[in-house]
Structure 1
């Protein structure tokens, strides 16, 4: 007898697609944040509560809070609780028939995932889930309560028979969390399966999140910020930051694009166009274009793919560590992104998915490994052959397209970069004068060795006319590495005579190299001296015509500004204005007077044009010289010490405003009885952080909450100094805060942190 049978689904399915599929806590959070992005959120906050040992008894929690579209009752019932369903899959299918850019434009963003199981990452993190969600056009907050343990009680129970508690209320505030929800979704995960969230693990999470989205792929207009909030680690963050450790847990997670870090090194860009017809390659060395090439794409399964690959020499590694606060090897190597979202684990420390380290062991000096390279491979548009494995930590399914991608990377990108950077290509070392024809011929020959068969009619090539000079300098830079190679040959020398011969050659080689190095250092010193041209002269020049013109010019501008403010005050008085309207205008007069007083103190010392409001110079140098040569001369009893004063921070800034900030802070130190000032510089996230501390009496607990308020003073002063400082800084996007008294590593008195943009 024939009959039709149905599948039954065991409640054990929850484990298979939940905690057993997503086996890593970081990837679980990664998946949930991706869901927030797909819900058109502009910001998502990852909050950790009661995770330190002393607080765990209160109940450790993880909250994922976003301001996305939110869900209705129907969305919860027919989408979120529908296992395997994904709106994203419908969208991705649409990309197959519609124009890629038009489709993204309709939805605002291209989606990150399409399997409909990412929500089960909640099970990986904790046993209990409370979900709160609200759509902007509804006055209802929907709430789901899930106890994942219920699915584990009896595997014979059918999945769909286990009920999930739902309730709703018409308030916008979630009282249990003390959060007002206007729109978006909150996931509250408790009874954590792994409650060991220490500092190192939270920092690792932050690094994961830094690489979630590739801004250059999704576009700058897709605003999306991730915040990490673990208040229990706030004090530790402050301590680490003051000790020079840039990595902190709390705050915005910055998406890092290597080329925006300002590190000049050799890199190659390679792109297959959207139709899969052409490959475009560009090689750049420290900002200088070397060549660009157009050729036919022979990889029939590949299209709409871009690769950026950077070579990390010692200088680039050092600069990266200084800017980022961690070594490149710990950040990762070559990442894979699909439509702007990272695919794990490619690029993680220890993941050799491109076989670079394995290959390097076969030809140690000729090949580059993961430690020497950083970059990304970007897959764009509808690419069904590059689907992620469901476990989310095993990359993509291995298809013919994947194998072609590996070959494309190796042959068209990696080998070309290696040939330029690593291999000792033959070049004409002669200093004879070359004709334009000879320069072109030699340049093409050099490129031919890098890309192969330049004269092939299927290839179009353009090159830098200074290519030979650039390459000659590159060869000189490689000398120290070549010496190491020769030294390593000694262990293979069969006799002592041959070892002696190698030693002799090395001595002469090192001697010649030292002469070159000395010359190079001398030139660098000369160059550095021109860059560090003093901003203030050690002695005042005589009150000559230029000084008087500059001073008169500034006095005229300030007097005009004061006249205008006085007119405004008179007008306010005539209109019967009250004191609260007039006081800010009096503050402005005070500020203009400060400008005149400060300018008159340094105009005869300044080596820059004081008539110009804004200059582009090294801000650290300006601050150090102003304190050394202006303030110290004015007040010889005040000793000033500096830390990290050799860092360079070239920016446009207003000298008068910086001077007013410094003068007001020093004036406060004097009033607190200070005789010593300690100034520490830090360059962090493209901002200059200035820590100014003194050995005075400090700020008492009551005063610290009011010191930036207009009129507040503990002395006989006006009480508008720090108020002015804060206003000036905030007007340019900067900030100032009092961080405490007797801060470790600084002076025992008050310490202020000034952030200059």
Structure 2
């Protein structure tokens, strides 16, 4: 007779759904903020206390509906239970919100941030505050214990942290230290977390960052220089990026209605609406809105001036679901929709991620859009995500390209002047315009259309310039005006000269594209070789595939850099403006090479990100494979050192330091691992010349050789990303010494 058995759950589950699942501390905070939003909070405060001491604490404080003791037992302590999946939850809440999370594991983000968490919560019916205390260490190294048998402490207390109702998450025993740069990065990420126009569809929701130890630094920053919001840690998180873009650029908006019956598209140029059309929706998805802005030179300059950051470093097309951002869509160098790859195939016809910025909003349930469990890999691939990508291309990107690239950017003739000389009152004329701007426009799908006659004027303006010069010359001859005739000839010659320069640039770019195609083909051959070697090599198939994906992303980034250089040359930028883009290309090439080396020569993945590992073990393994045959490297000091670091970026640091040593005619390099997470890099090369200003050696472009001057700049950049500092020992006289502290 059959016997009924049951699963048992190990205490090790905590790691799987906690710090191992959420491997980014920013994402961990985002998850807790989203929980506050889902609880009906109008304001959430992220407070750091004693941030630079050993007893630092993080508080997430909200004014949501709170939880009673029974709700804590039935919901918060019920693993993988999400009340948001239950329709009765929507009936019980008196505000119109859809929900940002629905997996029931977001609360385990606390484990990623610290060793101990206290939950304080109170409903409007509670007299006292309910408190639950969890020490995550009690779940460690006890895999034979059952998860539900490990006790957590509960009691009722009085607390000034909660007034009428709300919840406080108190996290201490922090797993990582925070510094000002990371707090600013957190604030920047928080500005992108919530859609800046979310309040059009939801109740007001504010995020406040409170770090007492940084208030004085904020005050000094505000007094001493022109300061941007991104340079101040404390205060309300505000995102006005799309207000900035509205002023000086072209934007297109396409929205699929809530009932899924129609798609409404509008095109605006510098605040003027040119047309609006309604068409039958051909997709199965609904309740989605997208807005894309074209970033011409003026828009980029204005963006940097207003935001204090270049648009390329801010991001491109973000995706939001019910008001909250889905990571990592929109991140710099993350091109999930292959926008830059497509641009490489038609550099003078298509827009890349550097030329656009915008967002896609997904509202309502839309259950086909499910985030990966780790929360930093976007949506799980589905039929709906495929339709979303097609919607993006056909209703947003391609129509914007037709207008910006063909009509107002390069002045190519799209519609002949005669057909546009009429008043366009007849439907057929509007149809002609729409067919030129929307490649797949179908008249039978059109439900409604309105247009601004300025659209006609814009097109005419860009198609009649040649005839205007001829008309000017004709008038000059009729009036026998020699000066006017000379001026007309001069304008014509300048125009022809510019056309010739553009033509020559395009010929040069063709060579760049040819070289790129060679590189792409070589990459394709490499991909095929990986498939052949799968059964023979020690490299795991998954690691090889991950590496190929990363390398493809970096190759796309180089394509985008080349396109930017082309635009800058066309617009007459000087070499000092263009050099930083070449520096970016070189750094991206380094990442491609190191991605290959990591996967082939070590056991580490190229996309690990910052992770706590033995940095000495990694250094020994990497140096043995990569450098000992080029330059003798001696590793001394401690036997092991556990720190948070990124293997790919740390390998680039090693390469730059070793390469600098070799250029300085060093015969050996020592890497010394010391106490207090300190690494000392020492070579016996030429050292620092007496007339060199050490304080400037980390500046981009600084060099005492014929190099590019970005080696030390790169080292500092990647060290800071890993929460490390680098300093040069200017007193060392037997070569060169660099100190790195984690």
TM range (shorter): 0.5 to 0.7
SS of residue in 2 equivalent to 1:77? helix
Aligned ranges 1:355-504 → 2 under 5 Å: 355-423=338-406, 425-427=412-414, 434-436=421-423, 444-452=431-439, 456-459=443-446, 460-473=448-461, 485-491=502-508
Match of 2:171 among 168, 183, 189: 189
Aligned ranges 1:527-676 → 2 under 5 Å: none
1:251 aligns with 2:247: no
CA contact (8 A) 2:138 2:150 kept: yes
**Map of 1:166 onto structure 2:** 154
1:24 aligns with 2:12: no
1:271 aligns with 2:271: no
1:9 aligns with 2:4: no
**What is the distance in 2 between the residues matched to 1:493 and 1:143?**
66
Match of 1:67 among 56, 63, 66: 63
**Map of 1:216 onto structure 2:** 197
**Map of 2:587 onto structure 1:** none
Give, in angstroms, the shift of residue 264 of structure 1. Answer: 2.9
Give, in angstroms, the shift of residue 208 of structure 1. Answer: 1.5
Q: Deviations over 1:584-612 (max 9, x none)?
A: xxxxxxxxxxxxxxxxxxxxxxxxxxxxx
Match of 1:207 among 160, 174, 188: 188
SS of residue in 2 equivalent to 1:361? helix
Residues 313 and 2 of structure 1: CA distance in aligned 2, closer, same or farther (over 3 Å): same
Return 440-449 or 185-194, whichever deviates more: 440-449
**What is the distance in 1 between the residues matched to 2:46 and 2:276?**
43
Return 212-221 or 22-31, whichever deviates more: 212-221
**Map of 2:546 onto structure 1:** none
**What is the distance in 2 between the residues matched to 1:476 and 1:25?**
57
Q: Deviations over 1:254-311 (max 9, x none)?
A: 1336146652311111112222222221111112222222222222x21121111111
Give, in angstroms, the shift of residue 436 of structure 1. Answer: 3.0
**What is the distance in 2 between the residues matched to 1:263 and 1:447?**
25
Q: Deviations over 1:233-268 (max 9, x none)?
A: 122222333322312111000133614665231111
Aligned ranges 1:277-296 → 2 under 5 Å: 277-296=261-280
Match of 2:114 among 105, 126, 131: 126
SS of residue in 2 equivalent to 1:2? coil
Give, in angstroms, the shift of residue 6 of structure 1. Answer: 0.5
Return the index of the structure with the highest Cα Rg: 1
**What is the distance in 2 between the residues matched to 1:437 and 1:463?**
9
Alignment RMSD, CA only? Answer: 3.0
Q: Deviations over 1:551-572 (max 9, x none)?
A: xxxxxxxxxxxxxxxxxxxxxx
Residues 62 and 289 of structure 1: CA distance in aligned 2, closer, same or farther (over 3 Å): same
SS of residue in 2 equivalent to 1:468? helix
Match of 2:136 among 123, 148, 158: 148
**Map of 1:344 onto structure 2:** 327
Give, in angstroms, the shift of residue 25 of structure 1. Answer: 0.3
Residues 267 and 158 of structure 1: CA distance in aligned 2, closer, same or farther (over 3 Å): same
- Unaligned stretches of 5+ residues in structure 1: 96-102, 174-178, 495-512, 515-757
Residues 17 and 430 of structure 1: CA distance in aligned 2, closer, same or farther (over 3 Å): closer
Q: Deviations over 1:76-109 (max 9, x none)?
A: 1111101011111113x888xxxxxxx6984442
Q: Deviations over 1:490-529 (max 9, x none)?
A: 54899xxxxxxxxxxxxxxxxxx99xxxxxxxxxxxxxxx
Residues 109 and 34 of structure 1: CA distance in aligned 2, closer, same or farther (over 3 Å): same
1:232 aligns with 2:213: yes
**What is the distance in 2 between the residues matched to 1:261 and 1:37?**
27
Return 256-265 or 355-364, whichever deviates more: 256-265
**What is the distance in 2 between the residues matched to 1:449 and 1:435?**
17
Residues 42 and 94 of structure 1: CA distance in aligned 2, closer, same or farther (over 3 Å): closer
Residues 313 and 5 of structure 1: CA distance in aligned 2, closer, same or farther (over 3 Å): same
Aligned ranges 1:46-65 → 2 under 5 Å: 46-52=46-52, 56-57=53-54, 59-65=55-61
Residues 60 and 383 of structure 1: CA distance in aligned 2, closer, same or farther (over 3 Å): same
Residues 27 and 483 of structure 1: CA distance in aligned 2, closer, same or farther (over 3 Å): farther
Give, in angstroms, the shift of residue 464 of structure 1. Answer: 1.6
**What is the distance in 2 between the residues matched to 1:453 and 1:63?**
52
CA contact (8 A) 1:214 1:257 kept: no
CA contact (8 A) 1:261 1:323 kept: no
TM-score (norm 1): 0.59
**What is the distance in 2 between the residues matched to 1:440 and 1:166?**
71
Give, in angstroms, the shift of residue 435 of structure 1. Answer: 4.4
**Map of 1:302 onto structure 2:** 285
TM-score (norm 2): 0.60
CA contact (8 A) 2:416 2:463 kept: no
Give, in angstroms, the shift of residue 51 of structure 1. Answer: 2.5
Give, in angstroms, the shift of residue 216 of structure 1. Answer: 3.0
CA contact (8 A) 1:276 1:302 kept: yes
**What is the distance in 2 between the residues matched to 1:258 and 1:493?**
35
Match of 1:135 among 115, 123, 131: 123
CA contact (8 A) 1:454 1:461 kept: no
**What is the distance in 2 between the residues matched to 1:476 and 1:144?**
74
**What is the distance in 2 between the residues matched to 1:236 and 1:468?**
53
Residues 205 and 407 of structure 1: CA distance in aligned 2, closer, same or farther (over 3 Å): same
**What is the distance in 2 between the residues matched to 1:87 and 1:377?**
26
SS of residue in 1 equivalent to 2:275? strand
SS of residue in 2 equivalent to 1:370? coil
**What is the distance in 2 between the residues matched to 1:123 and 1:386?**
26
Q: How many residues align?
A: 475
**What is the distance in 2 between the residues matched to 1:5 and 1:270?**
53
